Every structure is written in structure tokens, then in C-alpha cells.
Amino acid sequence: MKLVAGNWKMFKGPTETLAFFDAFEAPDGVEVVLCPPFVSLEAAVGEEWPIYAQNVHWAAEGAFTGEVAAAMLVEIGVQGTLVGHSERRQHFGETDDTVARRAEAALEAGLGVIACVGETEAEREAGETEGVLRRQVAVIPRHEQLVIAYEPVWAIGTGKTATPQMAQQAHALIKSLHPTRVLYGGSVKPENAAELMAQPDIDGALVGGASLDPASFSAICRAAV
């Protein structure tokens, strides 16, 4: 069964979160996860879908202003978390080391993890894609509750999508390094979702912009079946 996860980034407070769930429908035969911002998690966990946070800290508690601990997420019914999203790597100083620490703490607390990897445009143009993926994947813990998302940074929020063949090639490499499910992310839309998810090593999708609208996210979920 494919897994389709929606990353809402910094969109939708609790009121808009509830409005989304009023309109959202998904067919049987697809696993669906939604990742609202921290303040909307509690509203979302009352709904029927597994809810993941977008980030988590590695410490159990402490002087880490603005961060949230794994046990706090578990306490309110959150089932998992993203780690290492490229926007965290680009804008908030996330490194391979902190990605690994966040993933380990989340898994230890019983959360599922979607760990994001992917090369930048400059890295792809310099022929460094394989090296970057090898380096990023090497630190990701092996665990049955962990899924990897391959998100080429140049395809996130840009409207540029990796061709199904490019994505397949990267997924095959990642799977040869880490035995887990691998989702594709980067401008996935209702129009391209079925072709991407038809590739043998693409086990689902991590969807940003197109997950904000219940109709388009529903269409992507249907394309996964």
C-alpha cells in the first residue's frame, strides 16, 4: 500500500485545520498522514488520520526555546514526525548530525519518522547527487517505523518535478543503502502523482503545496491506489 503524507509547512491554524478535515476524503487502499504546524496538532489528532509533527527535538526536555520534545507529541496523540526537511536544512541550520539525533529520539519515544533527504540544484548540476544521498542516508537510523522521503531541493515548491525516471533512479540508490519505504516529494500534484507512484521504487509521496487543498490532496490519494 502506498503512503501519502501531506506537509502543511507554516499554513493552517486550528480553525483551518478543522475545515480541511470537513472536506477531505481518501479512498481505501492508501495510507494517509498529515503534518500540520505544532499549534494545529491537537485539533488534528481528533480526526481519523494519523498526524505527524513537522519537527522534533532530540532532548527529553530542557532550555531549547522554540523546540518540542518527542514525549510532548506522544502525550497529545501525535503518531510521528518529519525530520530533516530541506527547509529546516536550508533556513534553520539542520545538519546530518541533528537530523539523526531528532530521528533517534522520535523513534525511541515510539513515534514514526519520515526522514527527508535530497540534493540541491547546484549539487545535481555538479554531478554530486549520488554522493549527497549516500552521505545523508548514512546517518538515518534503521527502524521499522522509519520511512525516507527523497525530495530533490530544486523540485520543492518550485513547480519543477523530477521526471519519474530521475526519481526512480534516486529511489533505487536510496533503497540499496537503506532497506525502507521511500516516498517522493517535490511538486507532486494530482496531474503527476499516478505516474510518479507507478515507478517500482516509489512507495508513496510527501506532498507540500498540493496537500493544503482538500480536493487536490484527495485526488493525489486516489492516484496512489
Residues that bind ligand PEP (CB under 6 A): 7, 9, 151, 156-157, 185-188, 206-210
Query: Measured between alpha carbons, how far is residue 6 from residues 24, 47, 92, 129 in Å?
Result: 12, 15, 21, 25
Does residue 151 have an active-site annotation?
Answer: yes
Nearer to ligand PEP, 7 or 55 (CB): 7
- The phi and psi torsions of 5 (rounded to 5 degrees) equal -115, 140
Q: What is d(CA 5, CA 143) in angstroms, rounded to the nearest whole number?
A: 19
Nearer to ligand PEP, 167 or 207 (CB): 207
Q: Least distance to ligand PEP from the beta carbon of 154, Å?
A: 10
Q: Which of 31, 57, 85, 123 is catalytic?
A: 85
Q: Report the run of H or E that residue 169 belongs to, with start and end.
A: helix 164-177
Does residue 57 have an active-site annotation?
Answer: no
Q: Report the run of H or E that residue 217 belongs to, with start and end.
A: helix 214-223
Residue of minimal Cβ distance to ligand PEP = 208
Q: Least distance to ligand PEP from the beta carbon of 86, Å?
A: 8
Q: Which of 94, 104, 151, 171 is catalytic?
A: 151
Q: Least distance to ligand PEP from the beta carbon of 116, Å?
A: 7
Q: Which residues contact 98 (CB under 8 A, 6 or more apart)?
A: 58
194, 168 Cβ separation under 8 angstroms: no
Nearer to ligand PEP, 49 or 74 (CB): 49
Nearer to ligand PEP, 11 or 21 (CB): 11
Q: Least distance to ligand PEP from the beta carbon of 207, Å?
A: 5
Query: Measured between alpha carbons, how far is residue 25 from residues 9, 197, 219 in Å?
Result: 20, 19, 9
- Catalytically active residues, by annotation: 85, 151
